[in-house]
Every structure is written in structure tokens, then in C-alpha cells.
């Protein structure tokens, strides 16, 4: 088990480029593999999660070359995947297993999807149910991985109302819809990230989006293109919070994805009073990018508007650190989804904040955090092998007078392989032991 020791630091400065967007990196491999022709991807995230997706498609006969963050995918067409010789091991990646279930439910061959200890505890009923409704045959371990998918099924398009706003479930159903007879429509209760719809359109597939409903008709083709992956706003969020809470900070995050379905963290921090400005806004490959400048600021606790919750679902661990440094109380509700991420992020963050002397109250669907001063830790922070927990508590060192020890940081490699290097270059003091 690896561990971070984050020593006190007060200053943060520089122009920082965080790694490529994880969601877009996953989808570039999946949809590039199903396209006709050669798809070239730049800015690909070299984290373990995205590499799990890449290796899975290589195991299904797709030729994929990688040189650093540049990936070349020789597409096999929508029906060109081959049966893998072994179960597909997707490591820690919930995105991989849920989205790929949609693609694999429609193949001629049987396959099995497995993962690590953490992934094996995550609920898959949310994708199994709609896929079964479409005609898929999937066996699971009481709704959890491993998933055994029986090939040779004829899928039929459905109209599916998402019970919970989830981009992974929406994407899974739409990807199965590529193979289904007739039209597949997904209606979501609140906006979620729309990278799948954007990339499908970029690869020439017609997707009809009306308000909160997305529809496509099966049987079409995808045409290869070039994809530039912008910097991941979920990774940038740690440095947005870091600069907001640091006593002295002025940093600029370059080329960050500001897709409107992902900018909840910006909205929330600005509501709290963060000195955060966007510049050089541009569009590349259907995705919006901007440079984001953040300076030290005095934050105030807020009641987080529930409409921002799906737009910031992955960034809440970092937001909880900002709330701990804000004046007054911050209240989050409507975020039950946080309990079924890589860890129960509400409870695990609450436990860590308590270790640092921050008063909090856990709610069924959220948390109340009373801003204050970080105290000398009463123990080691347990991340439960959740990469976002590990990085969030590392950021807390900018307002702590004592070193913070964080256990189980191995999975930081899944989303942000150079986190420690970038944090130290900006002025933090993080050691991996």
C-alpha cells in the first residue's frame, strides 16, 4: 500500500497543464474502435482506467498504437470486434465496465467483464436492467461484477427513463442502441455529461437531442476522425480548490474542458466567493475549452443548489475541502450517487474531515460541513483506495500546520498519474512513501 505525506505549504503559482479528460479518453477508444478507418487521438489520458479500456479493445482484435498521449486506433467497424481469449479485466474503472456492457450486450460472442476489489463491489443493476429490457442476457454476482454477457442476442430499441441522473447509464443504453432494431431514447431527470452524444455526432452518427431526451436509431456506421482530448476538469478541480484556499496563490490551468455538463465545480466555487476567471475560450472537436485562472480568496459556506449536483458529481471530495476552509456552513443534499462511487465518498470524506478536526454531519444524500481550521490530525486519513479522496486531502495541506498522512493512494494512477509531480512543481510539498 502506498501513502502520501502532504507537508504544510502556503504558496501556489504557475501555469499548469493537467492530464487529458478521462471520460473523453475512454470514449475515444470505444468509439474509435467501432469506426471505419483510422482515428488519431491526442491528449489521451495515460491513467490506468483509460488504459484498461484500451487493453480491452486490443484483446478484442483492435489494433491500437500508443506513443505517450498520442493514440492511433485502426477501427474495425461496428460489427468487427472479436471474442477475447480471456475475461476482460477493467481494473478500477466503473466507466469502462458500464459503457462496454452496452457494446458487448450486442456482440455475437460471449464475454466476461471483471475488475479489482473496489470495482467488484460497485452496483451494475443500473445497466443490467435496461440492457435486459432491450434483450440482453447478463449474469452477475447479485448485481455486481463479474458480468457474464451471453452473445448472439437481438436487441430492440427502448424508451428509457433514467431513475437517477447518470452519464454512464445513459451512455451504456445509447451504445447498445447502436446495435438495436429501431430507435433507442434515453430521458434523464437532470443534465449529465454529454461526451458520448458529442463524440457520436463527431464520428458522423445521427443523435437527436431534445431538451432532456437523447435518441438514435440502430444500424448506422461510425466514421473515423481526429480527436483532441482537453484537460480533465475533474483533475483541474483539485488545483482550483488548492488555489482558492492557499494563503498565497495565483495559478492558471491551461486548456481545461468546460463542457457545460461538467462545470458544476466552477459554479459552486464562484458561489462560495472564489476568485476564478475563464479566458481564451475555444471549441475543439465539439468540446469547449478555456484557460482558468484562480487566486487566493475568502470562501463562504453555501447551500449547494441541487441542479449543480450532477454537473459536479466527481468533484465533490475536493469541494468538501473548500467547504472546510469556508466561513460558515456548507450543505450538500441530493447527492446519494456519491455513496456508490469508488468508495462511499460522503462517509469516507466525513471520516477524514473529522480526523482533521472539521465538524460535519452526514446526511443520507449529502453532508453538512462547518468551516473552521484544520487541526493536528488525530490519525492517518484512510482513502479506501479512492483516487479522488487521496488527492482532496493532499490539497488540505495548504491550510494545515501539520503533515497529513493519507493511506491507500495507489489508485491516483487511474486518473492523474503525474499529480504529485505537478503539485510539487506548483509549490506544494507531497511525498509518496
CB 178 within 8 A of CB 196: no
CA distance 27 to 23: 6
Grid coordinates standing for 325? 476552509
Location of C-alpha cell 505537478: 422
Torsion of CA 393, 395, 396, 397, to 10 degrees: 110
**Closest residue by Cα to residue 169 from 140, 152, 193:** 193
Say whether 70 sits in a helix, a strand or coil.
Answer: strand
Select from 92, 77, 95, 80 the least CA-distant residue to 25.
Answer: 95
3-class DSSP assignment, residue 142: coil
Single out the residue of 77, 74, 137 nearest to residue 111, CA to CA. 137
351 catalytic residue (yes or no) = no
- The three-point CA angle 194-195-198 to 5° equals 90
Q: Please, which residues have CB within 8 angstroms of residue 168's CB and are 6 or more apart in sequence?
A: 94, 95, 98, 99, 127
| Cell numbers 458480468: residue | 147
Cell readout for 219 is 444500424
CB burial of 287-309 (b: ≥16 within 10 Å; e: otherwise) equals: bbbbbbbbbbbebebbebeeebb
CA distance 330 to 319: 10
Residue in 194, 291, 314, 386 annotated catalytic: 314
| Active-site annotation, residues | 314
Amino acid at each position: 500500500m502506498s501513502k502520501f505525506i502532504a507537508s504544510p505549504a502556503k504558496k501556489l503559482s504557475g501555469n499548469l497543464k493537467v492530464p487529458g479528460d478521462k471520460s473523453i479518453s475512454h470514449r475515444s477508444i470505444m468509439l474509435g474502435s467501432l469506426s471505419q478507418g483510422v482515428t488519431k487521438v491526442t491528449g489521451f489520458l495515460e491513467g490506468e482506467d483509460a488504459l484498461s479500456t484500451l487493453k480491452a479493445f486490443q484483446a478484442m482484435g483492435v489494433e491500437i498504437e500508443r506513443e505517450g498521449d498520442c493514440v492511433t486506433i485502426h477501427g474495425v467497424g461496428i460489427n468487427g470486434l472479436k471474442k477475447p481469449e480471456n475475461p476482460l479485466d477493467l481494473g478500477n474503472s466503473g466507466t469502462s465496465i458500464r459503457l462496454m456492457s452496452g457494446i458487448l450486450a450486442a456482440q455475437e460472442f460471449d464475454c466476461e467483464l471483471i475488475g479489482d476489489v473496489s470495482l467488484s463491489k460497485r452496483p451494475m443493476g443500473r445497466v443490467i436492467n435496461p440492457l435486459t429490457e432491450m434483450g440482453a442476457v447478463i449474469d452477475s454476482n447479485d448485481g455486481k461484477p463479474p458480468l457474464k454477457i451471453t452473445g448472439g442476442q437481438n436487441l430492440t430499441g427502448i424508451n428509457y427513463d433514467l431513475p437517477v441522473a447518470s452519464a454512464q447509464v445513459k451512455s451504456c443504453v445509447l451504445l447498445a442502441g447502436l446495435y438495436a432494431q429501431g430507435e433507442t431514447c434515453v430521458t434523464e431527470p437532470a443534465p449529465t455529461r454529454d461526451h458520448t452524444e458529442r463524440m457520436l455526432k463527431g464520428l458522423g452518427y445521427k443523435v437527436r437531442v431534445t431538451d432532456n431526451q437523447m435518441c438514435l436509431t440502430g444500424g448506422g456506421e461510425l466514421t473515423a476522425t481526429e480527436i483532441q482530448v482537453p484537460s480533465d476538469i475533474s483533475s483541474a478541480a483539485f488545483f482550483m480548490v488548492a488555489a482558492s484556499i492557499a494563503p498565497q496563490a495565483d495559478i492558471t490551468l491551461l486548456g481545461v474542458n468546460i463542457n457545460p455538463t461538467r462545470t458544476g465545480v466552477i459554479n459552486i466555487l464562484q458561489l462560495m466567493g472564489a476568485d476564478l476567471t475563464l479566458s481564451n475560450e475555444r471549441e475543439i472537436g465539439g468540446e469547449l475549452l478555456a484557460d482558468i485562472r484562480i487566486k487566493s480568496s475568502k470562501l463562504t459556506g453555501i447551500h449547494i443548489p441541487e441542479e449543480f449536483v450532477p454537473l459536479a458529481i466527481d468533484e465533490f471530495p475536493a469541494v468538501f475541502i473548500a467547504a472546510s476552509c469556508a466561513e460558515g456552513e456548507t450543505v450538500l443534499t441530493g447527492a446519494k450517487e456519491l455513496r456508490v462511487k469508488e468508495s462511499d465518498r460522503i462517509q469516507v470524506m466525513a471520516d477524514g474531515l473529522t480526523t482533521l478536526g472539521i465538524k460535519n454531519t452526514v446526511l443520507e444524500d449529502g453532508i453538512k460541513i462547518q468551516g473552521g481550521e484544520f487541526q493536528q490530525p488525530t490519525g492517518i486519513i484512510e482513502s479506501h483506495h479512492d483516487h479522488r479522496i487521496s488527492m482532496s486531502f493532499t490539497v488540505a495541506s495548504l491550510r494545515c500546520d501539520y503533515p497529513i498522512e493519507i493511506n491507500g493512494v495507489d489508485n491516483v494512477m487511474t486518473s492523474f498519474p503525474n499529480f504529485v509531480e505537478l503539485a510539487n512543481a506548483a509549490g506544494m510539498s507531497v511525498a509518496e512513501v
